[in-house]
Amino acid sequence: MSNYTLSKKRILSLIVCSFLISREESVCWAAAHEDSFEGFEPGRVAFEPRLPPAIRFKLSVKSNQAAFEGNPPQVVKHRQPGVKWKDVEDQKLIELHGLLGNKWKKISQAMNEAGFHRTNNQCKIRWENTLNPDISHEEWADAEDQKLIELHGLLGNKWKKISQAMNEAGFHRTDNQCRTRWGTLQNKNDA
């Protein structure tokens, strides 16, 4: 590549790195390694020993994945985050929580055996934010709003602590409910 100018080397390095890493990383890497493509041969995976380890790893992962038709065999197929829970899954989770308590790993395994592919964390979050019968899903009362404003003034954005204090005061709200309500109150004040 001796016939390339320095700017052409930079452009080539940006093109090669753009599919490997984020744009910010590739620009920083290209600026720091303008002469790293001295022995570049098309088609080779590890074409330059001076490539940073993160890029070499990404190159090897991409080349290994390309060898498979679909997903690589080490990929475990779990349901993607954001997939809505069905009523049947909710009922199964309630039943399993009644039997096993807060043992989320065992609950997740039982859900998977029943054909519902949910992770430990998905089960825990679903129970804590939605299905737990101790949580209030009613409209927020003025007393709750005042308590939330008071606690936010004392604790700041520590929503878990605010939720615990709300529960101690008799208002059973999750940290997500408190955070969402605080945002709603802020929007009302701004309008």
- The per-residue pLDDT for range 87-142, each reduced to its tens digit, is 999 999 999 999 999 999 999 999 999 998 899 999 999 999 899 999 999 999 99
164 or 54: whose pLDDT is higher? 164
Reported as a pLDDT band with limits 50, 70 and 90, residue 188 is confident
The chain-wide mean pLDDT, for the chain, equals 74
- The domains of the chain, with CATH numbers, are 6-66 (no CATH), 87-131 (1.10.10), 142-190 (1.10.10)
Q: How far is CA 23 from CA 16, 18, 41, 139, in A?
A: 11, 6, 23, 45
Predicted confidence (pLDDT) at residue 81 exceeds the cutoff of 80:
no
Please write the tens of the pLDDT for every residue from 7-22: 566 665 655 555 454 4
Reported as a pLDDT band with limits 50, 70 and 90, residue 24 is very low
Question: Which residue bears the tokens 């829970």?
Answer: 85
Taking residues 41-64, report their average pLDDT.
50
Structure token pair of residue 70: 């679909």
Question: Which residue bears the tokens 């069905």?
Answer: 86
Predicted confidence (pLDDT) at residue 190 exceeds the cutoff of 90:
no
189 or 137: whose pLDDT is higher? 137
pTM above 0.75, yes or no: no
Taking residues 13-36, report their average pLDDT.
51
Taking residues 17-33, report their average pLDDT.
49
Q: CA-based angle 6:9:10, to the nearest 5?
A: 90
Percent of the chain with pLDDT over 90: 49
> What is the Cα–Cα distance from 177 to 171, expressed in whole angstroms?
11
Reported as a pLDDT band with limits 50, 70 and 90, residue 78 is low
